[in-house]
Structure 1
């Protein structure tokens, strides 16, 4: 085995972790892959003999790459992801492959990723690397060109915004599934009272249909979301619904003649639906890998 092959083998061992970091940073699976690939290119060009902690070195590199990508994104408003849903990660309701389990550890649902999009790039990096991956602020500080104390303040500020805006999902997947099934039954029956009973009073609905529908539409509050019953009923009765895990949480995949129509992600908090995220952008749906849904 050549040194290059040995290095590539070691890199592959870190790839799932690096992709998980990049996905939380960017909310885009394709951009996460690009960031991980850039980390490999930088490693291949470096003197690996001088790297004592390869995992830490790679995580730092991916963090820097993602920070640059976020800053570039912020400077190009037309390419911002703030007005669209993050990419969903979809798997069968009864299983997730090992790489997805790493990618979605801690149930990083779409609702949380949406909130992360509202942070500044430096806040997002400090929060993701410290709160989600346990990196010390001494290691985070050089990436954002700040002192450790300032990096800690960035993470603290981000933490407050996340806690105030992203509901914590119920940990029990079976209770999540019961709430989603109750939602689906109410939608199919056109039962307004049943729908209201399963929704949180402060429920938020985000629907991203892409450019044809003007981007993401956000509806807030029990009355306004329950008022979408007719839309939910059309979805439930005109498509074939498949239970799935969407970012590790109970969700639905809707198809017509095996053609993907929409992906629905739910955040269930205290046995009620706190957020509903619907991706129906045909261009983005076409790029999703649904191989894991095959029995």
Structure 2
């Protein structure tokens, strides 16, 4: 957490609050939350904020530095934040003091304050030129966005990428170089919807199985975005609102409970170091 639907929801709810605003100040409360915070501070004052967007599990905040006599046409910048387990962004009224878990405070030209909060402190951000994103190794390693191609194209791409893989299909879905943005929750839910055993070696799944998986994955992700993500512990959108998709979980977090399709108790095991829940009757191989 947060996974693709949660980060997408944060981007959509944060964008209208900060787009077009200028940054008037920065307070760094936890230096490890941002790579090279001194460089960030030097570039930030007076910078305009562009349209917030998402790539994989990254929240992207474009910046347009203020022109100066020394640099009348400064390059566009972007802050990339990986929220990890508990990172979040909230806009607060003028004068709001940092909260217990606030790590960065961005003062805006309308008096409001943008907080980056992170309970577990695993989240991080970095600043770079927007035209240099492709040279960032982490960025270059990311797999395709699961919602951008048509389901048939995504299914074919997954089948091609994984045709010789011996890894469990659940482990493959968690690999951000295979497909970007999918984590434990939505991998479990998509595999259930597609009727695939999460421990099946990826190379043994048929073309029809991958088509079913692609359709299920896109359907699950879109439904989760419509419901503003899943709030299990700490996740909230940029307005402080909880998501609702957790109320629709078919398998995630339901080990030992009856399957919603057949009534059999759901099973659980560790795959790729993550707790995995599935129905041994409904999730056969394809």
TM bucket by the smaller chain?
Answer: under 0.3
Bigger fraction of residues in helix: 1
Q: Please report the TM-score for the alignment, with normalisation by the length of structure 2.
A: 0.27
